[in-house]
Protein backbone atom coordinates (compact mmCIF):
# COMPACT_ATOMS: atom_id res chain seq x y z
CA UNK A 1 0.00 0.00 0.00
CA UNK A 2 1.27 3.45 -0.85
CA UNK A 3 2.93 5.45 1.91
CA UNK A 4 0.52 8.35 1.28
CA UNK A 5 -2.41 6.18 2.41
CA UNK A 6 -0.59 4.78 5.43
CA UNK A 7 0.70 8.23 6.30
CA UNK A 8 -2.87 9.59 6.08
CA UNK A 9 -3.98 7.02 8.66
CA UNK A 10 -1.04 7.97 10.87
CA UNK A 11 -1.86 11.71 10.62
CA UNK A 12 -5.53 10.99 11.34
CA UNK A 13 -4.72 9.08 14.55
CA UNK A 14 -2.04 11.58 15.62
CA UNK A 15 -4.11 14.74 14.95
CA UNK A 16 -7.28 13.27 16.48
CA UNK A 17 -6.03 11.20 19.42
CA UNK A 18 -2.46 12.34 20.01
CA UNK A 19 1.04 11.07 19.35
CA UNK A 20 0.99 8.60 22.25
CA UNK A 21 -2.07 6.85 20.85
CA UNK A 22 -0.38 6.60 17.47
CA UNK A 23 2.75 5.10 19.03
CA UNK A 24 0.53 2.53 20.82
CA UNK A 25 -1.14 1.71 17.47
CA UNK A 26 2.27 1.28 15.81
CA UNK A 27 3.36 -1.11 18.57
CA UNK A 28 0.10 -3.09 18.51
CA UNK A 29 0.29 -3.38 14.70
CA UNK A 30 3.90 -4.59 15.05
CA UNK A 31 5.24 -1.97 12.65
CA UNK A 32 8.84 -1.82 14.02
CA UNK A 33 8.75 1.93 13.26
CA UNK A 34 6.49 4.87 14.12
CA UNK A 35 6.72 7.08 11.03
CA UNK A 36 5.26 6.13 7.66
CA UNK A 37 7.05 7.90 4.82
CA UNK A 38 4.53 9.41 2.40
CA UNK A 39 6.63 8.69 -0.68
CA UNK A 40 7.62 5.07 -0.03
CA UNK A 41 5.71 1.86 -0.69
CA UNK A 42 4.77 -0.57 2.10
CA UNK A 43 3.56 -4.15 2.32
CA UNK A 44 -0.22 -4.31 1.72
CA UNK A 45 -0.69 -6.36 4.88
CA UNK A 46 0.36 -3.43 7.11
CA UNK A 47 -2.65 -1.21 6.38
CA UNK A 48 -5.42 -3.54 7.68
CA UNK A 49 -3.23 -4.31 10.71
CA UNK A 50 -2.91 -0.61 11.54
CA UNK A 51 -6.67 -0.08 11.13
CA UNK A 52 -7.49 -3.06 13.36
CA UNK A 53 -5.01 -1.88 15.99
CA UNK A 54 -6.50 1.63 15.96
CA UNK A 55 -10.07 0.30 16.30
CA UNK A 56 -9.01 -2.00 19.12
CA UNK A 57 -7.13 0.66 21.08
CA UNK A 58 -9.91 3.25 20.62
CA UNK A 59 -12.58 0.69 21.60
CA UNK A 60 -14.63 1.52 18.52
CA UNK A 61 -15.89 -0.50 15.56
CA UNK A 62 -13.44 -0.40 12.65
CA UNK A 63 -16.16 0.88 10.30
CA UNK A 64 -16.67 3.94 12.50
CA UNK A 65 -12.93 4.63 12.69
CA UNK A 66 -12.69 4.39 8.90
CA UNK A 67 -15.58 6.79 8.37
CA UNK A 68 -13.92 9.29 10.73
CA UNK A 69 -10.74 8.86 8.70
CA UNK A 70 -12.66 9.83 5.55
CA UNK A 71 -14.16 12.91 7.24
CA UNK A 72 -10.72 13.87 8.57
CA UNK A 73 -9.17 13.67 5.10
CA UNK A 74 -11.52 16.36 3.79
CA UNK A 75 -12.12 18.60 6.79
CA UNK A 76 -8.93 18.75 8.85
CA UNK A 77 -6.78 21.85 8.26
CA UNK A 78 -3.55 19.83 8.13
CA UNK A 79 -4.73 18.06 4.96
CA UNK A 80 -6.28 21.13 3.28
CA UNK A 81 -4.35 20.32 0.10
CA UNK A 82 -6.41 17.14 -0.35
CA UNK A 83 -9.75 18.94 0.04
CA UNK A 84 -8.65 21.40 -2.62
CA UNK A 85 -7.65 18.63 -5.00
CA UNK A 86 -11.07 17.00 -4.52
CA UNK A 87 -12.85 20.31 -5.12
CA UNK A 88 -11.20 20.49 -8.54
CA UNK A 89 -13.55 17.61 -9.41
CA UNK A 90 -16.54 19.86 -9.97
CA UNK A 91 -18.29 23.16 -9.35
CA UNK A 92 -21.31 21.54 -7.67
CA UNK A 93 -21.72 18.51 -5.42
CA UNK A 94 -23.46 16.61 -8.25
CA UNK A 95 -20.55 17.38 -10.59
CA UNK A 96 -18.20 16.24 -7.85
CA UNK A 97 -20.14 12.94 -7.54
CA UNK A 98 -19.78 12.38 -11.27
CA UNK A 99 -16.05 13.07 -11.07
CA UNK A 100 -15.54 10.24 -8.57
CA UNK A 101 -15.16 7.63 -11.31
CA UNK A 102 -12.01 9.52 -12.39
CA UNK A 103 -10.59 9.71 -8.87
CA UNK A 104 -8.05 6.86 -9.25
CA UNK A 105 -6.88 8.33 -12.58
CA UNK A 106 -6.59 11.80 -11.09
CA UNK A 107 -4.56 10.39 -8.20
CA UNK A 108 -2.25 8.55 -10.60
CA UNK A 109 -1.74 11.75 -12.59
CA UNK A 110 -0.31 13.36 -9.45
CA UNK A 111 1.63 10.39 -8.04
CA UNK A 112 2.19 7.74 -10.69
CA UNK A 113 2.48 4.76 -8.31
CA UNK A 114 -0.53 5.71 -6.17
CA UNK A 115 -3.27 3.18 -6.93
CA UNK A 116 -6.57 4.10 -5.33
CA UNK A 117 -9.42 1.56 -5.28
CA UNK A 118 -11.79 1.76 -8.26
CA UNK A 119 -15.12 3.46 -7.56
CA UNK A 120 -18.18 3.78 -9.79
CA UNK A 121 -21.16 6.10 -9.53
CA UNK A 122 -24.57 4.89 -10.75
CA UNK A 123 -27.33 7.46 -11.19
CA UNK A 124 -30.84 6.20 -10.51
CA UNK A 125 -32.64 9.54 -10.52
CA UNK A 126 -31.24 13.08 -10.43
CA UNK A 127 -31.25 12.89 -6.63
CA UNK A 128 -30.58 9.23 -6.04
CA UNK A 129 -27.22 7.54 -6.62
CA UNK A 130 -25.24 4.45 -5.64
CA UNK A 131 -21.49 4.48 -5.25
CA UNK A 132 -19.79 1.11 -5.79
CA UNK A 133 -16.42 0.78 -4.10
CA UNK A 134 -14.14 -2.07 -5.19
CA UNK A 135 -11.33 -2.53 -2.69
CA UNK A 136 -9.27 -5.29 -1.17
CA UNK A 137 -9.18 -3.32 2.07
CA UNK A 138 -12.41 -4.12 3.86
CA UNK A 139 -14.23 -0.98 4.99
CA UNK A 140 -13.02 1.30 2.20
CA UNK A 141 -16.69 2.13 1.61
CA UNK A 142 -16.80 3.62 5.09
CA UNK A 143 -13.84 5.86 4.29
CA UNK A 144 -15.73 7.04 1.18
CA UNK A 145 -18.84 7.64 3.35
CA UNK A 146 -16.77 9.97 5.52
CA UNK A 147 -15.30 11.69 2.46
CA UNK A 148 -18.75 12.17 0.87
CA UNK A 149 -20.32 13.46 4.10
CA UNK A 150 -17.55 16.05 4.52
CA UNK A 151 -17.58 17.02 0.82
CA UNK A 152 -21.38 17.52 0.92
CA UNK A 153 -20.80 19.95 3.81
CA UNK A 154 -18.01 21.57 1.86
CA UNK A 155 -20.30 22.21 -1.12
CA UNK A 156 -23.19 23.19 1.18
CA UNK A 157 -25.33 20.28 -0.07
CA UNK A 158 -27.64 18.17 2.11
CA UNK A 159 -27.33 14.45 1.38
CA UNK A 160 -28.35 11.26 3.15
CA UNK A 161 -25.76 8.50 2.98
CA UNK A 162 -26.20 4.86 3.78
CA UNK A 163 -23.70 2.03 3.67
CA UNK A 164 -25.72 -0.82 2.14
CA UNK A 165 -23.09 -3.49 2.69
CA UNK A 166 -22.00 -5.62 -0.23
CA UNK A 167 -19.99 -8.71 -1.07
CA UNK A 168 -16.33 -9.25 -0.35
CA UNK A 169 -14.36 -6.68 -2.28
CA UNK A 170 -17.45 -4.62 -3.20
CA UNK A 171 -19.20 -2.12 -0.97
CA UNK A 172 -22.18 0.04 -1.94
CA UNK A 173 -23.12 3.48 -0.62
CA UNK A 174 -26.61 4.85 -1.28
CA UNK A 175 -26.71 8.61 -1.75
CA UNK A 176 -29.96 10.59 -1.54
CA UNK A 177 -29.57 14.22 -2.42
CA UNK A 178 -32.11 16.28 -0.45
CA UNK A 179 -30.94 19.73 -1.39
CA UNK A 180 -27.97 20.92 -3.44
CA UNK A 181 -27.84 24.44 -2.02
CA UNK A 182 -28.74 23.78 1.58
CA UNK A 183 -26.02 25.94 3.13
CA UNK A 184 -23.25 28.35 2.13
CA UNK A 185 -20.56 25.73 1.77
CA UNK A 186 -16.88 26.57 1.93
CA UNK A 187 -15.23 28.90 -0.56
CA UNK A 188 -13.07 27.35 -3.23
CA UNK A 189 -10.80 29.67 -5.18
CA UNK A 190 -8.82 28.18 -8.02
CA UNK A 191 -5.92 30.47 -7.31
CA UNK A 192 -5.66 30.08 -3.53
CA UNK A 193 -2.39 28.58 -2.35
CA UNK A 194 -2.92 25.36 -0.45
CA UNK A 195 -1.29 25.50 3.00
CA UNK B 1 -25.89 41.17 -33.82
CA UNK B 2 -27.10 41.84 -30.27
CA UNK B 3 -25.51 40.77 -27.01
CA UNK B 4 -27.86 37.80 -26.84
CA UNK B 5 -26.50 36.56 -30.13
CA UNK B 6 -22.95 36.40 -28.71
CA UNK B 7 -24.24 33.87 -26.20
CA UNK B 8 -22.75 30.89 -28.06
CA UNK B 9 -19.30 32.48 -28.26
CA UNK B 10 -19.50 33.39 -24.55
CA UNK B 11 -19.85 29.70 -23.69
CA UNK B 12 -17.34 28.33 -26.20
CA UNK B 13 -14.67 30.94 -25.55
CA UNK B 14 -15.47 33.14 -22.56
CA UNK B 15 -12.19 35.01 -23.01
CA UNK B 16 -12.99 36.53 -26.42
CA UNK B 17 -13.49 40.04 -27.75
CA UNK B 18 -15.37 41.02 -30.90
CA UNK B 19 -13.82 44.06 -32.65
CA UNK B 20 -15.19 46.33 -35.32
CA UNK B 21 -13.07 47.06 -38.42
CA UNK B 22 -11.94 50.28 -36.69
CA UNK B 23 -10.48 48.21 -33.85
CA UNK B 24 -13.11 49.13 -31.27
CA UNK B 25 -14.52 46.51 -28.89
CA UNK B 26 -18.11 45.57 -29.84
CA UNK B 27 -18.47 42.79 -27.29
CA UNK B 28 -16.38 41.24 -24.49
CA UNK B 29 -16.77 37.67 -23.24
CA UNK B 30 -17.67 37.17 -19.56
CA UNK B 31 -14.18 36.17 -18.42
CA UNK B 32 -12.52 39.08 -20.23
CA UNK B 33 -14.91 41.38 -18.36
CA UNK B 34 -13.55 39.93 -15.11
CA UNK B 35 -10.06 41.09 -16.04
CA UNK B 36 -11.23 44.71 -15.94
CA UNK B 37 -14.46 44.69 -13.88
CA UNK B 38 -14.48 48.48 -13.34
CA UNK B 39 -14.09 49.29 -17.02
CA UNK B 40 -16.75 49.31 -19.73
CA UNK B 41 -14.79 47.53 -22.43
CA UNK B 42 -17.43 48.02 -25.11
CA UNK B 43 -16.41 50.96 -27.28
CA UNK B 44 -12.78 50.98 -26.11
CA UNK B 45 -9.94 50.67 -28.63
CA UNK B 46 -8.40 47.21 -28.47
CA UNK B 47 -4.85 48.48 -29.02
CA UNK B 48 -5.29 51.01 -26.18
CA UNK B 49 -6.24 48.17 -23.82
CA UNK B 50 -3.60 45.73 -25.02
CA UNK B 51 0.03 46.09 -26.05
CA UNK B 52 0.97 43.60 -28.79
CA UNK B 53 4.43 42.39 -27.67
CA UNK B 54 4.97 39.99 -30.53
CA UNK B 55 4.86 40.19 -33.51
CA UNK B 56 6.36 43.68 -33.07
CA UNK B 57 5.28 47.00 -34.58
CA UNK B 58 1.52 46.48 -34.45
CA UNK B 59 0.16 50.01 -34.04
CA UNK B 60 -3.10 50.10 -35.93
CA UNK B 61 -6.05 47.84 -36.63
CA UNK B 62 -4.86 47.14 -40.17
CA UNK B 63 -1.61 45.66 -38.77
CA UNK B 64 -3.61 43.49 -36.40
CA UNK B 65 -6.16 42.19 -38.89
CA UNK B 66 -3.29 41.23 -41.21
CA UNK B 67 -2.09 38.82 -38.51
CA UNK B 68 -5.25 36.68 -38.64
CA UNK B 69 -4.49 33.11 -37.54
CA UNK B 70 -1.04 33.76 -36.01
CA UNK B 71 -0.19 33.55 -32.34
CA UNK B 72 -0.18 36.94 -30.59
CA UNK B 73 1.66 37.83 -27.38
CA UNK B 74 -0.37 40.49 -25.63
CA UNK B 75 -0.05 42.43 -22.42
CA UNK B 76 -2.65 44.52 -20.63
CA UNK B 77 -1.42 48.12 -20.54
CA UNK B 78 -2.82 48.97 -17.06
CA UNK B 79 -1.77 47.09 -13.94
CA UNK B 80 -1.96 44.24 -13.26
CA UNK B 81 -0.12 43.99 -16.57
CA UNK B 82 -1.03 40.39 -17.19
CA UNK B 83 0.53 38.77 -20.24
CA UNK B 84 -1.89 36.85 -22.44
CA UNK B 85 -1.79 34.74 -25.53
CA UNK B 86 -4.25 35.47 -28.29
CA UNK B 87 -5.36 34.76 -31.81
CA UNK B 88 -7.45 36.94 -34.12
CA UNK B 89 -9.79 35.73 -36.86
CA UNK B 90 -12.36 37.52 -39.10
CA UNK B 91 -16.02 37.27 -38.05
CA UNK B 92 -18.51 36.49 -36.76
CA UNK B 93 -20.21 39.35 -38.73
CA UNK B 94 -18.79 40.74 -41.96
CA UNK B 95 -16.22 43.47 -41.33
CA UNK B 96 -15.62 42.30 -37.75
CA UNK B 97 -12.84 40.37 -36.01
CA UNK B 98 -12.80 38.06 -33.02
CA UNK B 99 -9.82 37.85 -30.66
CA UNK B 100 -9.68 34.83 -28.36
CA UNK B 101 -7.41 35.08 -25.34
CA UNK B 102 -5.80 32.68 -22.86
CA UNK B 103 -3.46 33.04 -19.88
CA UNK B 104 -0.88 30.61 -21.18
CA UNK B 105 1.82 29.89 -18.65
CA UNK B 106 0.78 32.78 -16.36
CA UNK B 107 -2.46 30.95 -15.52
CA UNK B 108 -1.53 30.28 -11.87
CA UNK B 109 -1.09 34.01 -11.20
CA UNK B 110 -4.04 34.83 -13.44
CA UNK B 111 -6.66 32.86 -11.51
CA UNK B 112 -5.40 34.40 -8.27
CA UNK B 113 -5.18 38.00 -9.48
CA UNK B 114 -8.70 37.90 -10.92
CA UNK B 115 -10.29 35.39 -8.47
CA UNK B 116 -11.45 33.17 -11.32
CA UNK B 117 -13.47 30.00 -10.76
CA UNK B 118 -14.12 26.87 -12.81
CA UNK B 119 -17.22 28.59 -14.22
CA UNK B 120 -14.99 31.21 -15.89
CA UNK B 121 -13.53 28.62 -18.26
CA UNK B 122 -15.21 26.74 -21.09
CA UNK B 123 -16.23 23.21 -20.10
CA UNK B 124 -13.83 21.86 -22.73
CA UNK B 125 -10.95 24.06 -21.53
CA UNK B 126 -8.19 22.08 -19.78
CA UNK B 127 -7.19 25.01 -17.55
CA UNK B 128 -8.86 23.61 -14.44
CA UNK B 129 -7.22 20.22 -15.00
CA UNK B 130 -3.89 21.98 -15.39
CA UNK B 131 -4.37 23.89 -12.15
CA UNK B 132 -5.26 20.59 -10.48
CA UNK B 133 -2.03 19.09 -11.78
CA UNK B 134 0.07 22.04 -10.67
CA UNK B 135 -1.31 21.73 -7.14
CA UNK B 136 -1.16 17.95 -7.03
CA UNK B 137 2.41 17.87 -8.32
CA UNK B 138 3.50 20.61 -5.90
CA UNK B 139 2.04 18.63 -3.00
CA UNK B 140 3.76 15.45 -4.19
CA UNK B 141 7.06 17.29 -4.69
CA UNK B 142 6.80 18.74 -1.19
CA UNK B 143 6.33 15.25 0.25
CA UNK B 144 9.34 14.02 -1.73
CA UNK B 145 11.40 17.00 -0.62
CA UNK B 146 10.65 16.27 3.04
CA UNK B 147 11.64 12.64 2.54
CA UNK B 148 14.90 13.72 0.90
CA UNK B 149 15.67 16.08 3.79
CA UNK B 150 15.08 13.31 6.32
CA UNK B 151 17.23 10.88 4.32
CA UNK B 152 19.97 13.49 4.02
CA UNK B 153 19.87 14.07 7.78
CA UNK B 154 20.15 10.33 8.38
CA UNK B 155 23.03 10.11 5.89
CA UNK B 156 24.95 12.92 7.61
CA UNK B 157 24.40 11.28 11.00
CA UNK B 158 25.57 7.91 9.67
CA UNK B 159 28.67 9.49 8.12
CA UNK B 160 29.37 11.40 11.32
CA UNK B 161 29.17 8.10 13.19
CA UNK B 162 31.40 6.35 10.66
CA UNK B 163 34.08 9.01 11.21
CA UNK B 164 33.84 9.20 14.99
CA UNK B 165 35.48 7.20 17.76
CA UNK B 166 32.47 6.42 19.95
CA UNK B 167 34.32 6.22 23.29
CA UNK B 168 36.02 9.61 23.10
CA UNK B 169 34.04 11.50 20.45
CA UNK B 170 37.32 12.14 18.62
CA UNK B 171 37.75 11.47 14.89
CA UNK B 172 38.78 7.94 13.92
CA UNK B 173 41.40 6.62 11.53
CA UNK B 174 39.00 6.68 8.54
CA UNK B 175 38.30 10.37 9.13
CA UNK B 176 42.05 11.04 9.43
CA UNK B 177 42.74 9.40 6.07
CA UNK B 178 40.07 11.62 4.45
CA UNK B 179 41.41 14.81 6.01
CA UNK B 180 45.04 14.03 5.11
CA UNK B 181 44.03 13.22 1.54
CA UNK B 182 42.26 16.59 1.39
CA UNK B 183 45.31 18.47 2.75
CA UNK B 184 47.52 16.70 0.22
CA UNK B 185 45.17 17.58 -2.64
CA UNK B 186 44.83 21.22 -1.60
CA UNK B 187 48.53 21.58 -0.73
CA UNK B 188 47.84 22.52 2.90
CA UNK B 189 50.93 22.59 5.10
CA UNK B 190 50.34 21.04 8.54
CA UNK B 191 52.12 19.76 11.64
CA UNK B 192 51.49 16.17 12.67
CA UNK B 193 51.88 14.63 16.13
CA UNK B 194 51.85 10.95 16.99
CA UNK B 195 51.02 10.64 20.69
CA UNK B 196 51.25 7.43 22.73
CA UNK B 197 50.14 7.23 26.33
CA UNK B 198 52.80 5.96 28.73
CA UNK B 199 51.81 3.45 31.43
CA UNK B 200 48.23 3.28 30.19
CA UNK B 201 48.32 -0.53 30.22
CA UNK B 202 49.11 -0.44 33.93
CA UNK B 203 45.99 1.67 34.60
CA UNK B 204 43.85 -0.78 32.65
CA UNK B 205 45.38 -3.82 34.36
CA UNK B 206 45.43 -2.49 37.93
CA UNK B 207 42.33 -0.30 38.09
CA UNK B 208 40.00 -1.88 35.53
CA UNK B 209 38.58 -0.96 32.15
CA UNK B 210 36.20 1.65 33.58
CA UNK B 211 39.24 3.57 34.84
CA UNK B 212 40.96 3.05 31.46
CA UNK B 213 37.92 4.43 29.60
CA UNK B 214 37.76 7.40 31.94
CA UNK B 215 41.45 8.13 31.34
CA UNK B 216 41.00 7.96 27.55
CA UNK B 217 38.03 10.38 27.72
CA UNK B 218 39.98 12.78 29.92
CA UNK B 219 43.01 12.60 27.61
CA UNK B 220 40.78 13.31 24.60
CA UNK B 221 39.30 16.31 26.38
CA UNK B 222 42.76 17.71 27.21
CA UNK B 223 44.06 17.28 23.65
CA UNK B 224 41.04 19.07 22.21
CA UNK B 225 41.49 21.89 24.73
CA UNK B 226 45.16 22.32 23.88
CA UNK B 227 44.59 22.52 20.11
CA UNK B 228 42.67 24.94 17.90
CA UNK B 229 39.25 24.46 16.29
CA UNK B 230 40.61 23.66 12.84
CA UNK B 231 43.10 21.12 14.22
CA UNK B 232 41.97 17.49 14.28
CA UNK B 233 42.50 15.10 17.18
CA UNK B 234 42.27 11.44 16.15
CA UNK B 235 42.25 8.23 18.20
CA UNK B 236 43.80 5.68 15.87
CA UNK B 237 44.12 2.79 18.30
CA UNK B 238 43.82 1.76 21.97
CA UNK B 239 46.07 4.44 23.50
CA UNK B 240 47.46 5.91 20.29
CA UNK B 241 46.50 9.34 19.06
CA UNK B 242 47.34 11.57 16.11
CA UNK B 243 46.87 15.33 15.97
CA UNK B 244 46.78 17.15 12.63
CA UNK B 245 47.63 20.83 13.09
CA UNK B 246 47.17 23.06 10.04
CA UNK B 247 47.19 25.98 12.52
CA UNK B 248 50.74 25.25 13.75
CA UNK B 249 53.33 25.06 11.00
CA UNK B 250 56.35 26.35 13.00
CA UNK B 251 58.48 23.96 15.00
CA UNK B 252 58.29 26.34 17.98
CA UNK B 253 54.46 26.36 18.01
CA UNK B 254 54.32 22.58 17.71
CA UNK B 255 56.83 22.11 20.53
CA UNK B 256 54.84 24.46 22.79
CA UNK B 257 51.57 22.61 22.15
CA UNK B 258 53.22 19.19 22.57
CA UNK B 259 54.93 20.09 25.83
CA UNK B 260 51.69 21.52 27.23
CA UNK B 261 49.90 18.28 26.38
CA UNK B 262 52.62 16.19 28.09
CA UNK B 263 52.55 18.47 31.12
CA UNK B 264 48.79 18.19 31.54
CA UNK B 265 48.68 14.45 30.91
CA UNK B 266 51.33 13.91 33.56
CA UNK B 267 48.97 15.36 36.21
CA UNK B 268 47.20 12.52 38.08
CA UNK B 269 43.67 11.82 36.82
CA UNK B 270 41.23 11.14 39.69
CA UNK B 271 38.89 8.18 39.31
CA UNK B 272 36.65 6.58 41.95
CA UNK B 273 38.66 8.03 44.84
CA UNK B 274 42.01 6.92 43.37
CA UNK B 275 44.50 8.53 41.02
CA UNK B 276 45.46 7.26 37.58
CA UNK B 277 48.99 8.22 36.61
CA UNK B 278 50.02 8.29 32.99
CA UNK B 279 52.12 10.41 30.70
CA UNK B 280 52.62 10.78 26.97
CA UNK B 281 55.39 10.41 24.38
CA UNK B 282 55.18 12.50 21.25
CA UNK B 283 56.75 12.37 17.80
CA UNK B 284 56.36 15.41 15.53
CA UNK B 285 56.74 15.80 11.76
CA UNK B 286 55.76 18.44 9.22
CA UNK B 287 53.96 18.03 5.92
CA UNK B 288 55.33 20.45 3.35
CA UNK B 289 53.33 20.40 0.09
CA UNK B 290 56.47 21.63 -1.70
CA UNK B 291 58.51 18.75 -0.25
CA UNK B 292 58.98 15.22 -1.52
CA UNK B 293 57.18 13.38 1.30
CA UNK B 294 53.58 12.23 0.97
CA UNK B 295 51.22 12.55 3.95
CA UNK B 296 51.57 8.79 4.52
CA UNK B 297 55.34 9.22 4.77
CA UNK B 298 54.92 12.18 7.15
CA UNK B 299 52.74 9.95 9.35
CA UNK B 300 55.52 7.38 9.34
CA UNK B 301 58.14 10.07 10.07
CA UNK B 302 56.18 11.13 13.15
CA UNK B 303 56.02 7.47 14.15
CA UNK B 304 59.79 7.20 13.94
CA UNK B 305 60.12 10.33 16.07
CA UNK B 306 57.63 8.90 18.58
CA UNK B 307 59.69 5.74 18.83
CA UNK B 308 62.76 7.87 19.60
CA UNK B 309 60.78 9.64 22.36
CA UNK B 310 59.82 6.32 23.93
CA UNK B 311 63.45 5.16 23.81
CA UNK B 312 64.58 8.42 25.40
CA UNK B 313 62.66 7.59 28.56
CA UNK B 314 58.99 8.60 28.14
CA UNK B 315 57.25 11.98 28.59
CA UNK B 316 59.47 13.21 25.76
CA UNK B 317 58.82 15.10 22.52
CA UNK B 318 61.02 14.49 19.47
CA UNK B 319 61.07 16.19 16.06
CA UNK B 320 61.64 13.92 13.11
CA UNK B 321 65.11 13.94 11.54
CA UNK B 322 66.14 11.49 8.81
CA UNK B 323 69.04 10.37 11.02
CA UNK B 324 66.55 8.98 13.54
CA UNK B 325 65.80 6.14 11.13
CA UNK B 326 69.36 4.81 11.47
CA UNK B 327 68.95 4.33 15.25
CA UNK B 328 65.54 2.72 14.96
CA UNK B 329 65.44 -1.04 14.84
CA UNK B 330 61.85 -1.72 13.82
CA UNK B 331 59.85 1.42 13.03
CA UNK B 332 57.47 -0.18 10.53
CA UNK B 333 56.06 -2.71 12.96
CA UNK B 334 54.69 0.01 15.25
CA UNK B 335 52.21 1.49 12.85
CA UNK B 336 50.81 -1.91 11.91
| pLDDT values of chain B reduced to their tens digit, one per residue, 336 residues | 555 578 899 999 999 999 999 999 999 999 999 999 999 999 999 999 999 999 998 999 999 999 999 999 999 999 899 999 999 999 899 999 999 999 988 888 888 889 888 889 998 999 888 888 888 898 888 888 988 998 898 888 888 888 999 899 999 999 999 999 999 999 999 999 999 999 999 999 999 999 999 999 999 999 999 999 899 999 998 999 999 999 877 889 999 999 999 999 999 999 988 999 999 999 999 999 888 889 999 999 999 999 999 998 889 999 999 988 886 655 444 443
- Kind of pairing between the strands at B97-102 and B83-90: antiparallel
Catalytic residue among B239, B288, B293, B303: B239
The CA distance from A131 to A119, in Å, is 7
pLDDT 10s digits, B299-314:
999 999 999 999 988 8
Nearest residue of A to residue B139, measured between CA atoms: A81
Please indicate whether, in this complex, the C-beta atoms of B147 and A4 are within 8 angstroms of each other: no
- Using the Cβ of A150 and the Cβ atoms of chain B, whether some distance falls under 8 Å is answered with no
Burial of B50 (0-12, 13-18, 19+ CB in 10 A): buried
Sites in chain A below the pLDDT cut of 50: 194-195
Which residues of chain A neighbour B150 with C-beta distances below 8 Å? 37
Q: Which of A190, A192, A194, A195 to mutate to test the interface with B (most CBs of B within 10 A)?
A: A190
CB B305 within 8 A of CB B242: no
CB contacts < 8 A (A, B): 64
Residues in chain B: 336
Instruction: State the Cα torsion B284-B290-B293-B294 to the nearest 10°.
Output: 100
Which residues of chain B neighbour A190 with C-beta distances below 8 Å? 111-112, 116-118, 128, 131
The CA distance from B154 to B167, in Å, is 21
Please indicate whether, in this complex, the C-beta atoms of A37 and B147 are within 8 angstroms of each other: yes
Closest-CA distance, B5 to chain A, in angstroms, reads 26
> What DSSP state is assigned to residue A122?
E
Number of helices (H), then strands (E), belonging to chain B: the values are 13, 13
Please indicate whether, in this complex, the C-beta atoms of B132 and A192 are within 8 angstroms of each other: no
Ordered DSSP codes for B267-322:
S-EEETTEEE--EEEEEEEEE-TTSS--HHHHHHHHHHHHHHHHHTTSS-EEE--T
pLDDT 10s digits, B231-243:
999 999 899 999 9
The CA distance from A167 to B287, in Å, is 79
State the pLDDT at residue A81. Answer: 85
The CA distance from A156 to B304, in Å, is 85
Task: Indicate if B239 belongs to the active site.
Answer: yes
Question: What number is the ipTM of this complex?
Answer: 0.77
The CA distance from A164 to A166, in Å, is 7
pLDDT 10s digits, A7-50:
999 999 999 999 999 999 999 999 989 999 988 999 999 999 99
CB A76 within 8 A of CB A66: no
- Kind of pairing between the strands at B16-19 and A170-179: unpaired
Short-list B176, B191, B183, B321, CA closest to B254? B191
Closest CB to A111 among B112, B117, B140: B140
Q: Give phi and psi for B29, each to the nearest 5.
A: -65, 160
CB B52 within 8 A of CB B58: yes
Ordered DSSP codes for A44-104:
TTHHHHHHHHHHHHHTS-HHHHHHHHHHHHHH-GGGHHHHHHHHTT-SSHHHHHHHGGGHH
Q: Which of A33, A93, A111, A191 to mutate to test the interface with B (most CBs of B within 10 A)?
A: A191
Strand segments (E) across chain B: 16-19, 25-28, 50-54, 71-76, 83-90, 97-102, 190-198, 232-235, 240-245, 269-271, 274-276, 279-287, 317-319
Short-list B106, B112, B96, B127, CA closest to B19? B96
The CA distance from B113 to B145, in Å, is 28
Short-list A66, A84, A79, CA closest to A173? A66
Please indicate whether, in this complex, the C-beta atoms of A110 and B128 are within 8 angstroms of each other: no
Amino acid sequence: MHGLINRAIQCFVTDTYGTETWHAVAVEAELDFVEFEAMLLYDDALTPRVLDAAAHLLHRPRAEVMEDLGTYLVSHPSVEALRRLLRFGGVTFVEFLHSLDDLPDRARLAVSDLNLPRIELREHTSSCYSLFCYSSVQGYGHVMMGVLRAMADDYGALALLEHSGGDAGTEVISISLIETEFAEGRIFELGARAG
Amino acid sequence: MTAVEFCGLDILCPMHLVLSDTGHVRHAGPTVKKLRPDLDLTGARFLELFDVKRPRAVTKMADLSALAGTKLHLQLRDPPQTELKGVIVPGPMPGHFTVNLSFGISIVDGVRDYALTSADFAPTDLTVEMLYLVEAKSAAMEASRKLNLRLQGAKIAAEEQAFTDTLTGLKNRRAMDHIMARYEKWGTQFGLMQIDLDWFKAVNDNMGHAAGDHVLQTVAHIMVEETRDNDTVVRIGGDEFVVLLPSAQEMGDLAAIGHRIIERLTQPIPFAGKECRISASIGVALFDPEGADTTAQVLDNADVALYASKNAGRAQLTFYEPELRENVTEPASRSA
